[in-house]
Structure 1
Amino acid sequence: MWSDRYNYYNIQFDEQFGQKLDKSFVVNCLLETKLFKQTNHQTFTNSKDFPWVDIILVETYDGNFTTSDKENQFVTLVAIVCSKRQDIDQQIYIDTFKQIANRLNWKLYLEEDDDGNENIEL
């Protein structure tokens, strides 16, 4: 998805969501950064020292998902929405998300760039 206000990133094993991880492991990876705070069983937001971000932990097999009251035990996708504001250095987001992806042994993808290219592995 492309937006002039937001960047959409995904952390996942591959483009087919070919690996699932225990949700508690993914939660711990996010919390250990101290850059995010958990808002419910499935979502995170930024701490006060990090630019705005919304993160959802999802178990999906085709990329489609919705938030739910039902807790998932596994994660196949970490879906991320963050600000595209000019005053925010986008490299802060990319570096942080790459570190998380590396810790999970997954990959970081940008859903769509400003030129219409989709699923760009970073």
Structure 2
Amino acid sequence: FHITPCNWQIHSACAQLERKDIITVSPTGSRKTMTFWIPMLFNAAGIIIIITPLNILGEKNETEGNLFGIPAVNLTAKTATDDMFKAIEEFKYRIIAVSLERILKDACF
């Protein structure tokens, strides 16, 4: 990523790799997303579903994931199509960002 992670990000990522449940609390802009992207580097077949409160955060996760070479998609009213769900089922995306509202409204979940 060309970014040096902080100790708390490394500890969080290590805990995930050990399959521990974790909760991370940190300020806005502290790169919390690094804590769940780092484990993806050690698990080439891994998939992460990010439940986000805002579509703009989903867009940010999609953009940054793709920028770092991790196939990502943000499921919105426009993108949550049958073709998209088929692509997800075929493991074409490793990062799937979706809002809680979309999960509650969409029967595919």
Q: Above 0.5 in TM-score? A: no
TM range (shorter): 0.3 to 0.5
Q: TM-score by structure 1 length?
A: 0.36
Higher relative contact order (CA 8 A, sep 6+): 1
TM-score, structure 2 length as denominator? 0.38
Q: Larger C-alpha radius of gyration, 1 or 2?
A: 2
Which structure dedicates a bigger proportion of its chain to strand? Answer: 1
